[in-house]
Amino acid sequence: MLTENANSYFSAQAVRDFSESLRRLGEPTSFQQTSQQERGGMTYRGYIIHFAGASLQLSVRAMPDGKIEQYQIYAGE
């Protein structure tokens, strides 16, 4: 599902770090797509993820073949 570039970023350690950080938030209460646009040959999709005590933004950029090139999670609404 990931491009070679994205796959190299998501090492076992990076996945563990994401997992540990996100697990503390508990189960999401909602997950909603907020935007989509084409740019630079990729499809950008923005999401907001709500948890009981926090909200996170998710940005996903996918190549024309559907493989994910960028997957970024950050705080804020």
> 77: pLDDT confidence band, cut at 50, 70 and 90?
low
Count of C-beta atoms within a 10 Å radius of residue 9: 12
Residue 32 CB contacts under 8 Å (≥ 6 apart), including other chains = 47, 48, 49, 50
How does pLDDT run across 1-56, given as a tens digit for each residue? 999 999 999 999 999 999 999 999 999 999 999 999 998 899 999 999 999 999 99
Q: Which domains does the chain have, with CATH numbers?
A: 4-75 (3.10.450)
State pTM to two decimals. Answer: 0.86
